[in-house]
Structure 1
Amino acid sequence: MARITWNETSTLCTALLDDVPVCTLKPKDIGGFTASWLDGRLWAPPSHMPKAAPQVTCFFARIEDAKLAVEKYLLG
């Protein structure tokens, strides 16, 4: 089974899937965090914009929400 770990610094949080970096979480000046895939994966469009194209980044209000979404996406 795949193993997800987190490497955290004061300005960046990186998700490692079996020790390979796959996603970064960066704090925004306006508050919240952006989650950016590093390996070509895409986030689904927001539910309020179903016709939008999938995106490499996604915004989250809290880091806990971002981590949960990344883990859910990676582990299915």
Structure 2
Amino acid sequence: MILIDPPVWPGWDRVWSHLVSDESFDELHAFARQAGIPARAFDRDHYDVPSDKYDELIAAGATPVASRDLVRRLIASGLRHRKRT
């Protein structure tokens, strides 16, 4: 399933959402490609998408979830890639 959290993450004078799959990276990349999200928006395990794409991505099939639920489901799927410290 493709999941998206609310656009609350600030950066570059905008706010952003995270787009993930809780099933596979193949599913995530295919959805992003179809939605016109550039490959450069992919960061380890998610796509960063600007707030102006939020409603469009939900209309395309992404399921809106709270940020904590998105992370919980990403970890449970085994697809979570944390930053190295």
As a proportion of its length, which structure holds more helix?
2
TM-score by length of 2: 0.35
When you count strand as a share of all residues, which structure comes out higher? 1
TM-score after normalising by structure 1:
0.37
Larger radius of gyration: 1
